[in-house]
Amino acid sequence: MSPDTCSAKGCTAPAAWRLLWNNPKIHTPDRRKTWLACDAHKGSLSDFLGARGFLREVEPHSPAGA
Ligand SMILES: [Zn+2]
């Protein structure tokens, strides 16, 4: 069992945040995709989603087993 890790490319840090997003072009409005982020990547990943209008919610994430 490995802890949940950050979704940023090449990052293996444990996730501390959960970014819930939706792409209205391909998802129904109530659908949520989840990206996990460490503290270092929370900003860049949420900026990426926010710039496209996809970001819906950001929640704290407790890594599995913590
Ligand atoms: Zn990261």
Q: Which residues surround ligand 1, an ion (CB under 5 A)?
A: 6, 8, 11, 13, 38, 41
pLDDT in tens, 10-36: 999 999 999 999 999 999 999 999 999
Q: Which helix (H) or strand (E) holds 64?
A: none
Number of domains in the chain: 1
pLDDT bin (cut points 50, 70, 90) of residue 3 is: confident
Range of the domain at 35: 1-66
Cα of 6 vs centre of ligand 1, distance in Å, is: 5
What separation in Å is there between the alpha carbon of 10 and the centre of ligand 1?
A: 8
Band the pLDDT of 62: cuts 50, 70, 90.
Answer: confident
pLDDT at 61 over 80: yes
What is the rounded distance in angstroms from the CA atom of residue 5 to the CA atom of residue 15?
Answer: 5
